[in-house]
Amino acid sequence: MTIQLFPLETSKIRRNLQPAELVEIALRRGEGQLASTGSFVVETGQHTGRSAEDKYVVRDAETEKAIEHGQGKLDRKGCDMIVANDVSVDKMGGAVNRVHIITRNGVDSWDRMGKDAVAARLAERIADALA
């Protein structure tokens, strides 16, 4: 069996696109918009069949091995610091986070704390680094 047997428009097939490419396509189609954080946001409508409380976490290298993944990302992106949200400890979207601050000097793992406390502590750390 070959693909020629099916009436497919092969010029429209996209395969193994990077996330940025997928977002660009969705934006062009008007399927969503970018939030101030750079995240792609979609309005799903009134009746989606799911509760707003439903949260799903995909188990992959990023969620299971936050530190190792963060160290790799630090090198790939050439950053000075990566903040890795450890979702293996708490559910994603919860009120409490455990984060790992990853720099070229090592890893500083913070105890679980509220998001506002994480933000305040992170702001202090960045201010100290820039001083």
Residue 10 covered by a domain: no
pLDDT tens for 79-125 read 888 888 877 665 555 678 888 898 888 899 998 888 888 888 988 98
Residue 109 covered by a domain: yes
Residue 18 covered by a domain: no
**Predicted TM-score (pTM) of this structure:** 0.50
Using the structure block, give the residue that is written with the tokens 């069996």: 1
> In 3-state terms, what secondary structure has residue 18?
coil
CA distance 44 to 62: 26
In the prediction, which pLDDT does 1 show? 43
Question: Domain range spanning residue 105?
Answer: 64-130
> In 3-state terms, what secondary structure has residue 50?
coil
Residue 3 covered by a domain: no
Task: Please say if the pLDDT value at position 51 is more than 70.
Answer: no
Highest mean pLDDT (candidates 3-7, 62-66, 125-129):
125-129
Number of domains within the chain: 1
pLDDT tens for 18-29 read 888 888 888 898
Task: Please say if the pLDDT value at position 62 is more than 60.
Answer: no
* Burial tier of 45 (Cβ tally within 10 Å: 0-12, 13-18, 19+): exposed
